[in-house]
Amino acid sequence: MTRKPEPPPAGGEGAAPEATPPAPGPEALDPGTSSRDGARSRASARVTAGILASRLSGLVRERIFAYFFGASPTADAWKAALRLPNVLQNLLGEGTLSASFIPIYAELLEEGRDQEAARFAGAVLGLLTVTAGLLAVVGILVAPWLVGFFFYGFDPDRQALTVELVRILFPMTAILVISAWALGILNSHRRFFLSYVAPVAWNAAMITALAVGGLVLGWSGSELVRLLAWGALVGGALQLLVQLPLTLRLLGEFRPSLSTQVHGVREAIRNLIPVVAARGAVNLGGWLDYALAAFLTAGAVATLSYAQTLYILPISLFGMAVAASELPEISRNRGADRARLAREVAGGAERVAFFLVPSTVAYLLLGDVIVSALYETGAFGADEVRVTWLILAAYAVGMGASATSRLLSSAFYALRDTRTPARVAYLRVGLALALGAALMLPMDRFRVGALGLGAVGLAAGSAVAAWVELGLLRRRLREQAGPELRLAGPVLPRLLAAALPAAGAGLGVHLLLPPLHPWLVAAGTLIPFGVIYLALTRLLGVSGPLDALLSRRSAPLP
């Protein structure tokens, strides 16, 4: 099969970098030309747009969930149940395929070996389907033992409900693994938006289940949460179906198989093993976070999960977006000189910092406004807002480090080095658990209403471990990219100089506002914060990432 060129609309979905060579001059001689930077930024923008849509729909889902369940024992059971089957998605999903599948598939496309790429994709699909299906069946069978072990701190009723939910959700995660394979195909063909907007279908199915069950049928408690689980299963299937037509069209002549003799499959499996081991450690760490929270006051698992949803949002929007858009390009050019690799990683880190610095400052200083606007409704009251904010603030300290580490891990994956990020992940997980376990019980003695603050200790341990992970990854990558590798250090002071006064202005407005609906308070506080931050970054000469998103040509940060 010969891949036929498909000229997309200018700047539209799937647009490739400009084919017209630049005019002679300094830009034409510089491997990091502004046209390529603009193409990268537009790819990152498409990822960001897709993730933004999916995350916004997720926040709507979480708000509706908070309305019905708050931080109740039923909410604890749902959050725990949703976490357990995620082992499949974490072990075999997007992050793992980014390390093992996309680099090989993208390189085959770049070399024009389209038939081999299609055979490789078919073999990966077959192996993934069988593996995910078997693990889902095992998960359904051993659900009582899994829940009994990881959530020993739950009372019998919460454990029984969690088991029911886990058995519904394991097949859902098996479907989402196949959805991640489709995402890998789409990303390798530079079709970023669809792959990241597809989870909107998953969230929409759960929102529909909550609305029908809670508002139309009048269900509540365990009855409603069971319907939510079935909605999640249907939503997983919809998320896959949204991506399949374009995925199959891009593959052309394609047939799933179970062959390990296809070119690239054995290398993908070799690369997969350390990543799966690392993902297993990270997944185990996530389970143990929730298992430890189960020993704290009731509601700790739920408030921890609410805070994690907001913590992950900027990391997904900006850290994941940059990492996802950079991975196929670095994979295509992994033979390039080290200086070019260093420039690409540094540019990505600066784009991440531009958005993560204000996000961190906002969560620390204005987090109660954000939490209240999103969650304060129905069973989620003022005490839940305060506790969730404190957990979120502890997470926020490590948010920038965690997002930048995703970018550095993608650079290692593109270089076909999956072992280094895996080893560092083991250390991060162990350190986070040790610190979190040491902090949570002393902090749980402090109360906000009936809720304890033990989960703040778990989040603080995670934040410290995130910075240790970033330091180790940076040092190891400098060994491959050379001493010229720099991250966002030179621009951080100017970004902070823009974010702190902006947050101060937002906080001042907040203090002056009369009692209003949380949405109005958030708008009155966060809009001035955002406007002032963007104005100050332009004044200080660090608005390059924003300009890149808004124009076809971009200039890197000075």
Q: Give the model confidence (pLDDT) of 406-421 as tens digits.
A: 888 878 877 777 788 8
| pLDDT band at 52; cut points 50, 70, 90 | confident
Q: Residue 254: what pLDDT?
A: 80
- Inside any domain, residue 381: no
pLDDT at 163 over 70: yes
Give a yes or no: residue 514 inside a domain.
Answer: no
Q: Does residue 65 carry a pLDDT above 90?
A: yes
Please tell me which residue, 233 or 191, carries the higher pLDDT value: 233
Question: Which one is predicted more confidently, 342 or 203?
Answer: 203
Looking at residues 379-385, what average pLDDT do you find? Answer: 92
Q: Please indicate whether residue 555 or residue 505 has the higher confidence score (pLDDT).
A: 505
Going by the DSSP 8-state scheme, the letter that residue 154 receives in this structure is S
In a domain, 307, yes or no: no
At 139-152, the pLDDT tens digits run 999 999 989 988 88
**pLDDT, averaged across the chain:** 82
Q: Look at residue 339 and tell me if it is in a domain.
A: no
User: In this predicted structure, what is the pLDDT of residue 231?
Assistant: 97
Q: How many domains does the chain have?
A: 1
448 sits in which H/E element: strand 447-448
The pLDDT, as a whole number, for residue 18 is 31
pLDDT at 319: 67
pLDDT exceeds 60 at position 541 = yes
Phi, psi values for residue 111, rounded to 5°: -85, 0
Rounded CA gap, 499 and 530, in Å? 9
What does the radius of gyration of the chain's CA atoms come to, in whole angstroms?
A: 23
Please write the tens of the pLDDT for every residue from 237-254: 999 999 999 999 999 888
3-state helix, strand, coil in the chain (%, to 5): 80, 0, 20
By percentage, how much of the chain surpasses pLDDT 70? Answer: 80
Task: Report whether pLDDT(555) > 50.
Answer: no
In a domain, 119, yes or no: yes
The answer on pLDDT for 39 being more than 60 is no
Asked if the model's pLDDT at residue 323 lies above 90, the reply is no
Task: Report if residue 486 sits inside a domain.
Answer: no
Residue 45 lies in a domain: no
Question: Per-residue confidence at 41, pLDDT binned at 50, 70, 90?
Answer: low
Complete DSSP assignment for 241-298:
HHHHHHHHHHH-S------S-STTHHHHHHHHHHHHHHHHHHHHHHHHHHHHHTTSST
Q: What is the mean pLDDT of residues 289-306?
A: 89
Q: Does residue 127 belong to any structural domain of this protein?
A: yes
Residue range 25-52: mean pLDDT, rounded: 55
> pLDDT over 90 for what percent of the chain?
48
> pLDDT at position 510, please?
92
By the 10 Å C-beta count (0-12 exposed, 13-18 middle, 19+ buried), 356 is classed as buried
The CA distance from 348 to 342, in Å, is 10
Range of the structural domain that residue 265 is part of: 73-270
**Nearest CA-CA partner of 270 in 422, 411, 136:** 422
